[in-house]
Amino acid sequence: MLGVIGGSGFYSFFGPDARSVTVDTPYGAPSAAITVGAVGAHEVAFLPRHGADHEFSPHTVPYRANMWALRSLGVRRIFAPCAVGSLTPALGPGAMVVPDQLVDRTRGRVDTYFDSGGIHVAFADPYCPSLRAAATNLPGVVDGGTMVVVQGPRFSTRAESRWFANQGFTLVNMTGYPEAVLARELEMCYAPIALVTDLDAGIDSGTAVRTVDVFAEFQRNLVPFKKLVHDAIENTANTAEVNSCTHCLAHEGVRLPFELP
């Protein structure tokens, strides 16, 4: 099964024929019930990251429960649509980007299932190359970029966004970590698909980022963005490496302290 974790403004994915599944986990309940439906020949599980009514802020999302619940349903590959700010004028609002690198600037978020056992996972390349290829092969998609994940829920100061840009980072986001590393620990292929909603404060000197503007830009682009995610799902059937991916099998030869769901 393939999974989709929807970000801000991305709360539904299927028509009325889909079914709702409630899952409990050792880490509590996920953000919302999981909706299971079809995209072409694919069975897809959809989970709204922030909850059905956007009740979870970035720092309160139950990330461990979300990823565990998806895996327990049989999900092994995840596309993660998300809203991002741009740290370069070359990527304006409406751009759709599949980043290839991540920088974690969060704090205090529980980012592992392995509180014991001395387990380490390779994370040099945080996103599944096979899933990325299924999305970047589509028209109009920007391939590559570094997404810096900040704690939130506040937006960056101008000085912070200029600092991020000077480091060569491309996008800024609040939810991409620990989601990506938890997927790796559960040996699930994972790739974000980012929609640029704004130029960050240090890049656009005339304005500051406002939530109302972010949501408005997301809504303006929601139809083509959903189509892109649908097309990426369909394209997995044409990307031979997806079903044989070994990049995300992080525990080969390692004895884990518990069984994965």
Q: Which residues are annotated as a binding site for phosphate?
A: 8, 49-50, 175
Catalytic machinery residues: 198, 200
Instruction: Quote the CA–CA distance of 73 and 114 in Å, as a whole number.
Output: 21
Residue-by-residue DSSP string for 160-171:
HHHHHHHTT--E
* Residues in binding site: 8, 49-50, 174-175, 198-200
Residue 14 DSSP one-character state: S
Peptide bond into 178 cis (omega under 30): yes
Residue 12's SS3 state is coil
Bridge-partner residues for 6, per DSSP?
A: 48
Instruction: Quote the CA–CA distance of 172 and 209 in Å, as a whole number.
Output: 12
- Whether the CB-CB separation of 250 and 122 falls below 8 Å is answered with yes
* Residues in binding site for substrate: 174, 198-200
- Whether the CB-CB separation of 170 and 99 falls below 8 Å is answered with yes
Instruction: Quote the CA–CA distance of 150 and 164 in Å, as a whole number.
Output: 10
Instruction: Quote the CA–CA distance of 8 and 82 in Å, as a whole number.
Output: 7
- Whether the CB-CB separation of 78 and 70 falls below 8 Å is answered with yes
Instruction: Quote the CA–CA distance of 97 and 192 in Å, as a whole number.
Output: 9
Compute the chain's Rg from CA coordinates.
Answer: 17
Burial of 68 (0-12, 13-18, 19+ CB in 10 A): buried
